[in-house]
Protein backbone atom coordinates (compact mmCIF):
# COMPACT_ATOMS: atom_id res chain seq x y z
CA UNK A 1 0.00 0.00 0.00
CA UNK A 2 1.43 3.37 -1.01
CA UNK A 3 1.13 6.21 1.47
CA UNK A 4 -0.02 9.64 0.38
CA UNK A 5 2.65 12.35 0.28
CA UNK A 6 2.07 15.24 2.67
CA UNK A 7 -1.24 16.88 1.80
CA UNK A 8 -1.49 20.66 1.64
CA UNK A 9 -4.54 21.44 3.77
CA UNK A 10 -5.09 24.76 2.00
CA UNK A 11 -5.43 23.02 -1.34
CA UNK A 12 -7.25 19.90 -0.10
CA UNK A 13 -11.00 19.65 -0.74
CA UNK A 14 -13.46 17.27 0.89
CA UNK A 15 -17.22 17.67 1.48
CA UNK A 16 -16.71 17.25 5.24
CA UNK A 17 -14.03 19.93 5.61
CA UNK A 18 -14.61 23.67 5.86
CA UNK A 19 -12.52 26.72 6.67
CA UNK A 20 -13.59 28.85 9.62
CA UNK A 21 -11.70 32.00 10.69
CA UNK A 22 -8.49 30.71 9.17
CA UNK A 23 -8.75 27.25 10.73
CA UNK A 24 -9.83 24.05 9.03
CA UNK A 25 -12.57 21.93 10.57
CA UNK A 26 -14.03 18.51 9.92
CA UNK A 27 -17.83 18.48 10.26
CA UNK A 28 -19.75 15.22 10.44
CA UNK A 29 -23.07 15.49 8.64
CA UNK A 30 -25.56 12.76 7.84
CA UNK A 31 -29.22 12.28 7.04
CA UNK A 32 -29.25 9.94 10.05
CA UNK A 33 -28.96 12.94 12.37
CA UNK A 34 -30.49 15.91 10.55
CA UNK A 35 -30.19 19.43 11.88
CA UNK A 36 -26.96 18.92 13.80
CA UNK A 37 -23.27 18.25 13.30
CA UNK A 38 -20.13 17.37 15.23
CA UNK A 39 -16.91 19.22 14.45
CA UNK A 40 -13.20 18.69 15.07
CA UNK A 41 -10.41 21.15 14.36
CA UNK A 42 -7.84 19.75 11.92
CA UNK A 43 -4.08 20.04 12.35
CA UNK A 44 -3.23 18.18 9.15
CA UNK A 45 -4.57 15.64 6.69
CA UNK A 46 -2.74 12.34 7.02
CA UNK A 47 -4.39 10.31 4.28
CA UNK A 48 -7.30 10.36 1.88
CA UNK A 49 -8.45 7.89 -0.73
CA UNK A 50 -11.49 6.18 -2.13
CA UNK A 51 -11.23 2.42 -1.88
CA UNK A 52 -13.53 0.16 -3.91
CA UNK A 53 -15.89 0.26 -0.91
CA UNK A 54 -15.75 3.67 0.74
CA UNK A 55 -14.25 7.13 1.12
CA UNK A 56 -11.41 6.94 3.68
CA UNK A 57 -10.13 10.05 5.42
CA UNK A 58 -7.57 10.17 8.23
CA UNK A 59 -6.56 13.42 9.86
CA UNK A 60 -4.71 14.64 12.91
CA UNK A 61 -7.06 16.71 15.08
CA UNK A 62 -6.11 19.40 17.56
CA UNK A 63 -7.63 17.63 20.59
CA UNK A 64 -8.61 14.05 19.70
CA UNK A 65 -5.44 12.70 18.12
CA UNK A 66 -5.67 10.87 14.82
CA UNK A 67 -9.21 10.37 13.48
CA UNK A 68 -10.50 7.72 11.08
CA UNK A 69 -13.48 8.75 8.94
CA UNK A 70 -15.37 6.46 6.56
CA UNK A 71 -17.89 7.98 4.16
CA UNK A 72 -17.90 11.20 6.17
CA UNK A 73 -18.68 9.49 9.51
CA UNK A 74 -16.17 9.29 12.38
CA UNK A 75 -15.26 5.69 13.16
CA UNK A 76 -12.78 6.34 15.93
CA UNK A 77 -10.42 8.87 17.46
CA UNK A 78 -7.29 8.12 19.46
CA UNK A 79 -8.66 10.03 22.42
CA UNK A 80 -11.84 8.07 23.13
CA UNK A 81 -11.86 4.93 20.95
CA UNK A 82 -11.30 2.66 23.96
CA UNK A 83 -14.81 3.37 25.25
CA UNK A 84 -16.62 1.73 22.35
CA UNK A 85 -14.02 -0.98 21.78
CA UNK A 86 -14.13 -2.09 25.40
CA UNK A 87 -17.90 -2.12 25.80
CA UNK A 88 -18.69 -3.98 22.57
CA UNK A 89 -16.02 -6.56 23.41
CA UNK A 90 -16.20 -7.14 27.14
CA UNK A 91 -19.99 -7.13 27.56
CA UNK A 92 -20.48 -10.40 25.64
CA UNK A 93 -17.20 -11.96 26.78
CA UNK A 94 -17.94 -11.38 30.47
CA UNK A 95 -21.55 -12.57 30.03
CA UNK A 96 -20.56 -15.99 28.65
CA UNK A 97 -19.28 -18.89 30.79
CA UNK A 98 -16.69 -20.14 28.27
CA UNK A 99 -16.17 -17.75 25.33
CA UNK A 100 -13.46 -19.71 23.55
CA UNK A 101 -14.19 -18.99 19.87
CA UNK A 102 -14.93 -15.43 18.77
CA UNK A 103 -15.95 -14.05 15.38
CA UNK A 104 -15.66 -10.36 14.53
CA UNK A 105 -17.55 -9.00 11.52
CA UNK A 106 -15.97 -5.72 10.39
CA UNK A 107 -13.70 -3.98 12.84
CA UNK A 108 -10.96 -3.05 10.37
CA UNK A 109 -9.36 -0.62 12.81
CA UNK A 110 -8.55 -3.74 14.89
CA UNK A 111 -9.59 -2.16 18.19
CA UNK A 112 -11.92 -5.07 19.02
CA UNK A 113 -9.09 -7.50 18.32
CA UNK A 114 -6.89 -5.60 20.78
CA UNK A 115 -9.53 -6.03 23.48
CA UNK A 116 -10.14 -9.71 22.65
CA UNK A 117 -6.44 -10.51 22.88
CA UNK A 118 -6.60 -9.41 26.52
CA UNK A 119 -8.87 -12.40 27.12
CA UNK A 120 -6.45 -14.65 25.26
CA UNK A 121 -3.78 -13.49 27.70
CA UNK A 122 -6.20 -14.14 30.57
CA UNK A 123 -6.66 -17.72 29.34
CA UNK A 124 -10.33 -17.45 28.34
CA UNK A 125 -10.57 -16.79 24.59
CA UNK A 126 -8.67 -19.25 22.39
CA UNK A 127 -9.26 -18.15 18.79
CA UNK A 128 -10.31 -14.91 17.10
CA UNK A 129 -11.48 -14.70 13.50
CA UNK A 130 -12.11 -11.30 11.90
CA UNK A 131 -13.92 -10.77 8.59
CA UNK A 132 -13.23 -7.38 7.02
CA UNK A 133 -14.19 -6.38 3.50
CA UNK A 134 -11.67 -3.54 3.07
CA UNK A 135 -8.05 -4.47 3.78
CA UNK A 136 -7.06 -0.85 3.18
CA UNK A 137 -8.67 0.10 6.50
CA UNK A 138 -6.56 -2.52 8.28
CA UNK A 139 -3.33 -1.36 6.65
CA UNK A 140 -4.03 2.30 7.31
CA UNK A 141 -4.90 1.58 10.93
CA UNK A 142 -1.56 -0.17 11.39
CA UNK A 143 0.18 3.02 10.28
CA UNK A 144 -1.99 5.77 11.75
CA UNK A 145 -3.73 4.06 14.68
CA UNK A 146 -0.96 1.81 16.03
CA UNK A 147 -2.36 1.55 19.56
CA UNK A 148 -5.59 0.14 18.18
CA UNK A 149 -4.07 -2.28 15.69
CA UNK A 150 -1.09 -3.51 17.72
CA UNK A 151 -2.43 -7.09 18.04
CA UNK A 152 -3.66 -7.48 14.46
CA UNK A 153 -0.87 -9.99 13.81
CA UNK A 154 -1.24 -11.91 17.07
CA UNK A 155 -1.00 -15.68 16.66
CA UNK A 156 -4.53 -16.11 18.06
CA UNK A 157 -6.00 -13.91 15.30
CA UNK A 158 -7.05 -14.93 11.80
CA UNK A 159 -8.06 -12.11 9.46
CA UNK A 160 -10.08 -12.91 6.35
CA UNK A 161 -10.65 -10.24 3.70
CA UNK A 162 -14.20 -10.88 2.59
CA UNK A 163 -17.69 -9.45 2.75
CA UNK A 164 -19.06 -10.31 6.20
CA UNK A 165 -22.55 -11.00 4.92
CA UNK A 166 -21.24 -13.46 2.31
CA UNK A 167 -19.02 -15.13 4.90
CA UNK A 168 -21.97 -15.79 7.20
CA UNK A 169 -24.04 -17.17 4.32
CA UNK A 170 -21.33 -19.72 3.48
CA UNK A 171 -20.03 -20.38 7.00
CA UNK A 172 -20.45 -23.81 8.66
CA UNK A 173 -18.40 -23.02 11.78
CA UNK A 174 -19.94 -22.24 15.17
CA UNK A 175 -18.79 -19.49 17.52
CA UNK A 176 -19.38 -18.66 21.17
CA UNK A 177 -19.33 -14.89 20.58
CA UNK A 178 -20.03 -12.88 17.43
CA UNK A 179 -19.22 -9.16 17.48
CA UNK A 180 -20.56 -7.07 14.62
CA UNK A 181 -18.46 -3.91 14.37
CA UNK A 182 -19.88 -2.58 11.12
CA UNK A 183 -20.26 0.85 9.61
CA UNK A 184 -23.60 2.66 9.81
CA UNK A 185 -26.47 1.20 7.70
CA UNK A 186 -25.74 2.98 4.45
CA UNK A 187 -24.81 1.27 1.20
CA UNK A 188 -23.42 -2.28 1.62
CA UNK A 189 -23.61 -2.09 5.44
CA UNK A 190 -27.41 -1.75 5.34
CA UNK A 191 -27.71 -5.54 5.12
CA UNK A 192 -26.26 -5.81 8.64
CA UNK A 193 -29.38 -4.22 10.12
CA UNK A 194 -32.07 -6.51 8.72
CA UNK A 195 -33.89 -9.60 10.07
CA UNK A 196 -31.99 -11.86 7.68
CA UNK A 197 -28.71 -10.78 9.24
CA UNK A 198 -29.91 -11.75 12.72
CA UNK A 199 -30.80 -15.17 11.27
CA UNK A 200 -27.32 -15.53 9.77
CA UNK A 201 -25.79 -14.64 13.13
CA UNK A 202 -27.89 -17.29 14.86
CA UNK A 203 -26.82 -19.92 12.31
CA UNK A 204 -23.15 -19.27 13.08
CA UNK A 205 -23.65 -19.21 16.85
CA UNK A 206 -23.42 -22.05 19.34
CA UNK A 207 -26.68 -22.70 21.18
CA UNK A 208 -25.38 -20.86 24.26
CA UNK A 209 -23.66 -18.13 22.25
CA UNK A 210 -23.98 -14.33 22.44
CA UNK A 211 -24.03 -11.73 19.68
CA UNK A 212 -23.51 -7.99 19.96
CA UNK A 213 -23.78 -5.25 17.35
CA UNK A 214 -23.68 -1.50 17.25
CA UNK A 215 -27.18 -0.12 16.75
CA UNK A 216 -26.03 2.82 14.57
CA UNK A 217 -28.21 5.27 16.50
CA UNK A 218 -28.49 6.45 20.06
CA UNK A 219 -31.56 7.37 22.09
CA UNK A 220 -31.24 11.09 21.26
CA UNK A 221 -31.14 10.65 17.51
CA UNK A 222 -33.72 8.11 16.43
CA UNK A 223 -35.46 6.15 19.17
CA UNK A 224 -38.10 4.63 16.83
CA UNK A 225 -35.29 3.24 14.66
CA UNK A 226 -33.71 1.53 17.68
CA UNK A 227 -37.06 0.08 18.69
CA UNK A 228 -37.56 -1.26 15.17
CA UNK A 229 -34.09 -2.82 15.15
CA UNK A 230 -34.72 -4.44 18.53
CA UNK A 231 -38.03 -5.81 17.30
CA UNK A 232 -36.26 -7.36 14.31
CA UNK A 233 -33.72 -8.97 16.61
CA UNK A 234 -36.42 -10.34 18.89
CA UNK A 235 -37.90 -12.35 16.02
CA UNK A 236 -34.67 -14.39 16.09
CA UNK A 237 -33.32 -14.09 19.65
CA UNK A 238 -35.42 -14.68 22.76
CA UNK A 239 -33.04 -12.70 25.01
CA UNK A 240 -32.18 -9.23 23.74
CA UNK A 241 -31.10 -6.02 25.48
CA UNK A 242 -30.07 -2.48 24.53
CA UNK A 243 -26.99 -0.92 26.14
CA UNK A 244 -25.02 2.27 25.57
CA UNK A 245 -21.67 3.94 26.07
CA UNK A 246 -20.70 7.58 26.33
CA UNK A 247 -18.03 9.11 24.13
CA UNK A 248 -17.83 12.66 22.80
CA UNK A 249 -16.69 11.89 19.25
CA UNK A 250 -19.91 10.00 18.40
CA UNK A 251 -22.88 12.13 17.43
CA UNK A 252 -24.87 13.28 20.50
CA UNK A 253 -22.13 11.81 22.71
CA UNK A 254 -23.52 8.28 22.91
CA UNK A 255 -23.65 5.06 20.95
CA UNK A 256 -26.03 2.16 21.48
CA UNK A 257 -25.38 -1.56 21.21
CA UNK A 258 -27.73 -4.51 20.94
CA UNK A 259 -26.70 -7.72 22.71
CA UNK A 260 -28.64 -10.94 22.28
CA UNK A 261 -28.72 -14.67 22.93
CA UNK A 262 -31.12 -17.58 22.94
CA UNK A 263 -29.72 -18.66 26.29
CA UNK A 264 -31.41 -17.24 29.38
CA UNK A 265 -28.36 -15.32 30.65
CA UNK A 266 -28.91 -12.12 32.56
CA UNK A 267 -26.97 -10.07 30.01
CA UNK A 268 -27.23 -6.97 32.19
CA UNK A 269 -24.87 -8.46 34.82
CA UNK A 270 -21.45 -9.99 34.25
CA UNK A 271 -21.41 -13.75 34.68
CA UNK A 272 -17.69 -13.60 35.34
CA UNK A 273 -15.35 -10.96 36.73
CA UNK A 274 -11.56 -10.64 36.79
CA UNK A 275 -9.22 -9.37 39.43
CA UNK A 276 -7.49 -6.01 38.97
CA UNK A 277 -9.90 -4.56 36.42
CA UNK A 278 -7.84 -1.36 36.38
CA UNK A 279 -4.92 -3.29 34.89
CA UNK A 280 -6.91 -4.52 31.91
CA UNK A 281 -9.58 -1.91 31.24
CA UNK A 282 -9.85 1.87 30.91
CA UNK A 283 -13.64 2.07 30.52
CA UNK A 284 -15.19 -1.32 31.23
CA UNK A 285 -15.76 -2.65 34.74
CA UNK A 286 -18.33 -4.90 36.35
CA UNK A 287 -20.14 -1.76 37.54
CA UNK A 288 -20.05 -0.22 34.05
CA UNK A 289 -21.39 -3.51 32.69
CA UNK A 290 -24.54 -3.19 34.79
CA UNK A 291 -24.97 0.57 34.56
CA UNK A 292 -24.67 0.63 30.75
CA UNK A 293 -28.12 -0.98 30.55
CA UNK A 294 -29.80 1.69 32.69
CA UNK A 295 -31.69 4.08 30.41
CA UNK A 296 -33.51 7.35 31.10
CA UNK A 297 -37.17 6.76 31.89
CA UNK A 298 -38.58 8.07 28.59
CA UNK A 299 -36.19 5.96 26.49
CA UNK A 300 -36.67 2.85 28.60
CA UNK A 301 -40.44 3.15 28.34
CA UNK A 302 -40.26 3.47 24.56
CA UNK A 303 -37.89 0.54 24.03
CA UNK A 304 -39.50 -1.83 26.52
257: buried, middle or exposed (CB in 10 Å: 19+, 13-18, 0-12)? buried
Identified catalytic residue from 181, 208, 231, 276: 181
pLDDT of residue 185: 43
Report the alpha-carbon distance of residue 219 to residue 295 in Å, rounded.
Answer: 9
pLDDT of residue 165: 87
What domains are defined for the chain? 17-76 (2.30.140.10), 81-303 (3.40.50.150)
Spell out where 135-286 has E strands. 157-161, 175-181, 205-214, 239-246, 254-261
| Residues 117-156 as b or e (16 or more Cβ within 10 Å = b) | bbbbeeebbebbbbbbbbebbbebbbebbeebbbbbebeb
Report the alpha-carbon distance of residue 126 to residue 231 in Å, rounded.
Answer: 33
Strand order in the sheet with 23-28: 17-20, 23-28, 38-50, 55-61, 66-70, 73-77
170 noted as active-site residue: no
pTM of the model: 0.93
The neighbour count for residue 291, using CB atoms within 10 Å, is 11
Per run of 10 residues, the mean pLDDT along the chain (length 304 residues) is: 69 92 93 87 96 95 97 95 98 98 96 98 97 96 97 97 92 97 57 78 97 89 92 96 95 93 97 94 97 97 94
pLDDT of residue 7: 86
Amino acid sequence: MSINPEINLQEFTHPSISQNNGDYWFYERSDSFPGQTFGLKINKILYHTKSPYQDILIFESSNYGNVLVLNGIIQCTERDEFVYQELITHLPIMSHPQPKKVLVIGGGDCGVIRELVKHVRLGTVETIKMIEIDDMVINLSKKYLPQMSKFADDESVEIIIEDGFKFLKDNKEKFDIIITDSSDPEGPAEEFFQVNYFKLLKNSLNDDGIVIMQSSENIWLNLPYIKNLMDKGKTVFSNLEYTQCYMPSYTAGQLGLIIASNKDYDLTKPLRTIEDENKWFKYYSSKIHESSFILPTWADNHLH
